[in-house]
Structure 1
Amino acid sequence: MMGATRASGDRRHTLVADLGFGDAGKGATVDRLCRAGGVAAVVRFNGGAQAAHNVVTADGRHHTFAQFGSGTLHGVPTQLSRFTAVDPLALAAEADHLRALGVPDPYALLAVDRDAPLTTPYHAAAGRLRELARGEARHGSCGMGVGETTRYTLAHAGDEPTAGDCASRPRLLSRLRLLRDRLTDELGPLAAPPVEACAEAYTSFARAVRLTDGTRLRELAARGPLVFEGAQGVLLDEWHGFHPYTTWSTTTFANAETLLAEAGAAGEGLRLGVVRTYTTRHGPGPLVTEDPELTAALPEPHNGHGRWQGAFRIGHFDAVAHTYAAEVCGGVDALAVTHLDAPRRCRGLRICRAYGIDGDLVERLPAGPPGDLARQAELTGRLLRAAPALWDTPGRDPRHWSEAIGSLLGAPVLLESSGPARQGVNDLRSMGKSKYVSGKGSALSV
Structure 2
Amino acid sequence: MKAAVIGLQWGDEGKGKVVTYLSRRYDCVVRYSGGSNAGHTVDYGNFKMVHHLLPSADIKKQKMMYIGPGVVVDLDVLLEEIDQINNLIPESRSLLRISKQAHVVIPIYRDLDEKIDSSRANQIGTTRRGIGISYANRAMRCGLRLEDFETPARAESFLNEISRTWSIKFDVKMILDNLIEKYNKIRDLLIDSSEAVRVLKEKDLLFEGTQGVLLDVDMGTYPYVTSTNCSTTGIQPGFGYPVQVDKIFGVMKAYTTRVGEGPFPTELKDEVGENLRRLGSEYGATTRRPRRCGWLDLVLIKYAIETSACNALIMTKADILSGFEKIPICMGYKIGGKFYTQINNTAHLTEIEPVYEEIKGWKSLHSKEFDDFIYKIERELGLKFAYISTGPKIEEITEL
Question: Given the two structures, how large is their TM-score scaled by the length of structure 2?
Answer: 0.89
Does residue 104 of the first structure (1) align with residue 90 of the second (2)? Answer: yes
SS in 1 for 2:72: coil
Does residue 279 of the first structure (1) align with residue 266 of the second (2)? Answer: no
| CA distance in 1 between partners of 2:286 and 2:114 (Å) | 11
Structure-2 residue corresponding to 1:342: 320
Gaps of 5+ in 1: 1-11, 368-378, 427-435, 437-446
CA displacement at 1:220 relative to structure 2: 1.8
Q: Write the deviation string for residues 130-164 of structure 1: whole angstroms up to 9, x where unpaired.
A: 011115x1001011111111111112x2x321121
Structure 2 residue corresponding to 1:23, chosen from 12, 15, 19: 12
Label 1:344 to 1:366 Cα distance change in 2 as closer, same or farther (>3 A).
same
Q: Write the deviation string for residues 360-404 of structure 1: whole angstroms up to 9, x where unpaired.
A: 32211114xxxxxxxxxxx43x21122322324253233233222
How do 1:272-351 residues align onto structure 2 when only pairs under 5 Å count? 272-292=249-269, 293-299=272-278, 303-304=282-283, 311-329=290-308, 331-351=309-329
| CA distance in 1 between partners of 2:181 and 2:379 (Å) | 50
How do 1:430-445 residues align onto structure 2 when only pairs under 5 Å count? 436=400
Structure-2 residue corresponding to 1:77: 64
CA displacement at 1:24 relative to structure 2: 0.3
Structure 2 residue corresponding to 1:391, chosen from 349, 354, 357: 357
Structure-2 residue corresponding to 1:163: 146
Do 1:167 and 1:207's aligned partners in 2 also have CA atoms closer than 8 Å? no
Label 1:315 to 1:198 Cα distance change in 2 as closer, same or farther (>3 A).
same
CA displacement at 1:84 relative to structure 2: 1.1
Backbone CA RMSD of aligned residues:
2.6
Gaps of 5+ in 2: 363-368
CA displacement at 1:311 relative to structure 2: 4.2
Q: Which amino acid aligns with 2:13?
A: A
CA displacement at 1:307 relative to structure 2: 10
Please identify runs of 4+ aligned residues in structure 1 that moved more than 4 A: 188-193, 257-261, 300-303, 305-311
Q: Write the deviation string for residues 95-114 of structure 1: whole angstroms up to 9, x where unpaired.
A: 233244x1224432221112
| CA distance in 2 between partners of 1:238 and 1:62 (Å) | 30
Label 1:165 to 1:394 Cα distance change in 2 as closer, same or farther (>3 A).
farther
Does residue 424 of the first structure (1) align with residue 390 of the second (2)? Answer: no
- More off after superposition, 234-243 vs 163-172: 163-172
Label 1:346 to 1:193 Cα distance change in 2 as closer, same or farther (>3 A).
farther
Q: Which amino acid aligns with 1:227?
A: L
SS in 2 for 1:43: strand
Do 2:27 and 2:63's aligned partners in 1 also have CA atoms closer than 8 Å? yes
Does residue 256 of the first structure (1) align with residue 235 of the second (2)? Answer: yes
CA displacement at 1:238 relative to structure 2: 0.7
- More off after superposition, 347-356 vs 123-132: 347-356
Structure-1 residue corresponding to 2:194: 214
| CA distance in 2 between partners of 1:357 and 1:18 (Å) | 26
Do 2:256 and 2:295's aligned partners in 1 also have CA atoms closer than 8 Å? yes
CA displacement at 1:212 relative to structure 2: 2.5
Identity in percent: 23
How do 1:152-191 residues align onto structure 2 when only pairs under 5 Å count? 152-155=137-140, 157=141, 159-183=142-166, 185=167, 188=168
Label 1:139 to 1:215 Cα distance change in 2 as closer, same or farther (>3 A).
same
SS in 2 for 1:349: strand
- More off after superposition, 292-301 vs 65-74: 292-301
Q: Which amino acid aligns with 2:152?
A: R
Structure-2 residue corresponding to 1:134: 120
| CA distance in 1 between partners of 2:287 and 2:170 (Å) | 17
Do 1:169 and 1:199's aligned partners in 2 also have CA atoms closer than 8 Å? no
Does residue 229 of the first structure (1) align with residue 208 of the second (2)? Answer: yes
SS in 1 for 2:331: strand
